[in-house]
Structure formats: C-alpha cells, structure tokens
Amino acid sequence: MCPLLVANLDIVVLSLRMEKYILGAGMTGLAAGMSSGIRVLEAEESPGGICSSYYMRPGEKDRLSEPPSDGDAFRFEIGGGHWIFGGDPLVLDLIRRLVPVKKYVRRSSVYFSDQQLFVPYPIQNNLRYLDPKSARNIISEIGDTGGPSRTLKEWTANSFGPTLSNLFFHPFHERYTAGLYDQITPQDSYKSPVNRAHVLEGAESTPSAVGYNVEYIYPRGGLDNLARNLASRCNVLYGKRITEIDLENKTIRLSNKDVRGYRQLISTLPLNTVMRLSGLEAEMAPDPATSVLVLNIGAERGPGCPDAHWLYIPDSKSGFHRLGFYSNVDKSFLPASSRAGQDRVSIYVETAYRHGKPTDIEIEQYSESVISELQDWGFTGKIETVDPTWIEVAYTWSYPDSAWRKQALEMLRDRGIFQVGRYGRWIFQGIADSIRDGLVAGSSFAK
C-alpha cells in the first residue's frame, strides 16, 4: 500500500477516535454531562467530588459509599457541610425534581472560646452580645473607609474599624486564608455585609437576617443522592485519573496508561491543576489557593454542645477556623438508633493550609488536639469515629492587580479547553451556581 495512503488512513482513524470529554464528575461536571450526553472522566469510583457523602459505623474505620441497611452509621461529607444556597430558581427547581429536599433557616454564630461567648452571625449586626464599651467603639468606627482597600485585610480594617477587626476579623481571616490575609484582594463581601443601619439595629434588638445562607436546602438522605441522580443521567467513566494533557497531539493520558484523543474539553478541574497537566505557564505567577483538612467526627453529644449549624472560631488552640454540626442541620446525619433522642453529634472541623498536606503523624496529633479542645468546651463526650479528609484546592484567591486567571483561562480556551465551575474558573460560588455553569457549558457542547 502507498505510504501516503497509509499515513492518510492513520489520520482518519485518529480523527474518528477524537471525542469531546468532560473532566471531573463533581456537581458541575455531572450537570454538563447531563445536558450534553458527552462522556465524563472521573478519577474516583463514585460521583460528587468534594460534595460526596459517605457513611461510617460507630467504632469502625471503614468508609461506606451507601448507608447500611439498618441505618446505624454517621453520615459525613468529603469537604465538610455543603448546603445549597442562592442560585437560579430554575436550577433549584431542577434539583427539587431530581431529589426531595428540605429547607433550613441558618443558625450560625461566632464563638469566642476563651469567654464561652456565642455571638450570632454576622457579628457586626449583633453587637448587643458584646460588652458595652466594645460595642460603642465598634459603632463609632464601622463604615469609616479611611483609605484604599487593595487587600482583604485592608478592606476589613477599613470597613469594620480596629476594634472589631482585632477582636474577630483579623484572627479569623488569618486562619481562614492560611496567612494570605494581607496579600490577597478582597472578595465575597456579601459574606460580611456592611450596613450601618443594621449595625445600629442589632446593637439594641434582633436585626433582620442578612449575609449568605440565610435560607438553604439540602437533599433528604444526603448530598450523595443528588450526585447519584445526576450521574444516572450521564455517561460517567470512573477510575480515569488524568496525568497529562498533550496539547500538541490533542490527547489525554490517564493513570492506567490509557491515551484518549480529544477535540475539545470541558474541564471542571482546578485551573492551576489543568495548567500544570497541560504544561502551560501564564506570564504572571499563579494566584494562590489554600487547602483544607476536614476532620469528620462522630461522638456522644456533650453537655455544652450548641444548637448552631456552624460556628466561626477566631481563637481555637488547635488552629481550626470553622466548626460545623451536621446533625444540628438534620438528624439524618446520625445513626438511626440516636435520631429520636439525639444523644450523639456529627461534626466537621475545618483547618486551612498553604504548603502541602501534613503527614499522617501530624494529622493524628492534630486530631487529638481538636478532640481534646472540643471535649474541654463540652461540645462532645466520648469520640466514636474520627475521619480526616483532604481538599487540595479548597479556596481560591487572587493577588492585587493579577491577570493570571484571565490569562490562564484564555490560554486554555484558545487550545480547546473550556474551564467551568467554581474551581475551573477560580471563583467562589455555591453548588446551585456550579450546576448552572455545567448545564450551560454542556448545552453548548451538546451533540
């Protein structure tokens, strides 16, 4: 056969094998897969990504992907509590059609452990819980912009003044951002609204609820129900971890040595990860991300355990910044035998990191420190199960005047890789908005 003909046949065969793919079967990728019919490549053996639920029996260490038949297990989530707030009404309607949901009204506080003081969130609108002198100082200082706000630290100082910043915002954000607080641009200001009228109202009486997550929904029976229902409407290939994206030959290399040709990609993987996998570098240094160690704990309920859904902690000795109570949101997070009396509690504890995952020994020591602190506070009694989960890219940030995100997205787009979702586009958003992004991206790629 003519060599030229053979070469042409090879090109034809390769082009026939080149497909469109969706990378990642988290909520965004599943929504894109559902609206497009395109294959979804997922590294794990189950869908949902960091929004995956799992189950653990008291006294045991094995994770179960589904609840046991007798229901006697704690339910946890990989990345801590994920509550569905805000979002387009059409997306929320879709979620309700996929799974039955329950609606909740937020119960959240700042907890000062040294004073054993709970101040409802947002703290600036509940100054009546603080001592009168501090409250008067905060009222006189709040809303005085006082100068430019290039960094998150400058924004909080200019928005809330020195008294409230030193009391809460500075120590909390130092932990929440793992030390990036004075280096990154302000973002997500709706989480800490500044309204002087609400501040004055809350100094005397209960103000109107503001901020994010005022009301939210959660699937009955667990977030895994939503992930599985989405996945049942997709063509998901599990166990397909991507190790390289070859831009020149338009191929994806997988951890099992499989190589797949592609025409275009919808990627929900973190933007920095895809840049690394594809060997690209923008002109500017990458914007930072922080990792989070989530410690999932099942325990006997302590005598001082609050009824909050979650707490913001500025002064924990162990270093964690947020503490959530799954079972205060819904008793279905508890083993079936404890749901009537609620003598147990299901908890998640979040600590942020910047420079890589701690060692197993460090995690074990940290876990012991957290447990001791929770027991000292009276939040827990006897611990029945502890399970750490690690989120490599948990929160994404930007440096002042950085164009890295824009450059990276454009470089990938020009090469047929379209980043979507919270981590793909390097922005903060909730589950509902991530599902919306996936539906839109998938529709544009539909066969």
Residues 158 and 101 reside in one and the same domain: no
Tally the domains of the chain: 2
Low-confidence residues of the chain, pLDDT below 50?
3-16
Residues 87 and 127 reside in one and the same domain: no
Q: What pLDDT shows up at residue 6?
A: 41
Q: What pLDDT shows up at residue 189?
A: 73
What's the rounded Cα separation, in Å, for the pair 439 and 447?
14
Residues 134 and 196 reside in one and the same domain: yes
Residues 103 and 137 reside in one and the same domain: no
Other CB atoms within 10 Å distance of the CB of residue 434? 28
Which residue range is the domain that position 58 belongs to? Answer: 53-107+288-396
Is residue 133 assigned to a domain? Answer: yes
Q: What pLDDT shows up at residue 415?
A: 96
Q: What pLDDT shows up at residue 146?
A: 63
Dihedral of the alpha carbons of 159, 161, 164, 166, in degrees to the nearest 10: 110
Best CA proximity match to 270, nearest among 408, 76, 151: 408
What's the rounded Cα separation, in Å, for the pair 437 and 414?
19
Residues 293 and 392 reside in one and the same domain: yes
Residues 300 and 388 reside in one and the same domain: yes
Of 396, 413, 432, the residue at which a domain comes to its end is 396
Residues 84 and 163 reside in one and the same domain: no
Token pair for 361: 């020994």
Residues 391 and 338 reside in one and the same domain: yes
Residues 380 and 292 reside in one and the same domain: yes
Q: What pLDDT shows up at residue 341?
A: 85
Is residue 407 assigned to a domain? Answer: no
Token pair for 243: 């190790």
Residues 303 and 371 reside in one and the same domain: yes
Q: What pLDDT shows up at residue 8?
A: 46
Task: Give the C-alpha distances (Å, rounded to integers) separating 68 from 44, 54, 72, 76, 326.
Answer: 21, 11, 7, 14, 19
Of 195, 210, 225, the residue at which a domain comes to its end is 210
Best CA proximity match to 123, nearest among 153, 166, 83: 166
Residue with tokens 């179960």: 64
Is residue 118 assigned to a domain? Answer: no
Residue with tokens 């390769």: 14
Is residue 31 assigned to a domain? Answer: no
Q: What pLDDT shows up at residue 213?
A: 82
What's the rounded Cα separation, in Å, for the pair 54 and 64?
6
Q: Are 72 and 339 in contact (CB under 8 A)?
A: no
Token pair for 187: 């973002």
Token pair for 9: 């046949």
What's the rounded Cα separation, in Å, for the pair 379 and 347?
10
Residues 362 and 310 reside in one and the same domain: yes
Token pair for 140: 């006189």
pTM recorded for the entire structure: 0.92
Of 146, 175, 210, the residue at which a domain comes to its end is 210
Q: Are 262 and 19 in contact (CB under 8 A)?
A: yes
**CATH code for position 84:** 3.90.660
Q: What pLDDT shows up at residue 9?
A: 41
Is residue 81 assigned to a domain? Answer: yes
Q: Are 210 and 193 in contact (CB under 8 A)?
A: yes
Residues 98 and 133 reside in one and the same domain: no
Is residue 98 assigned to a domain? Answer: yes
Please report, as a single letter, which amino acid is at residue 327. Answer: S
Is residue 446 assigned to a domain? Answer: no
User: End-to-end alpha-carbon separation of the chain, Å?
Assistant: 36
What's the rounded Cα separation, in Å, for the pair 264 and 54?
33
Is residue 263 assigned to a domain? Answer: no
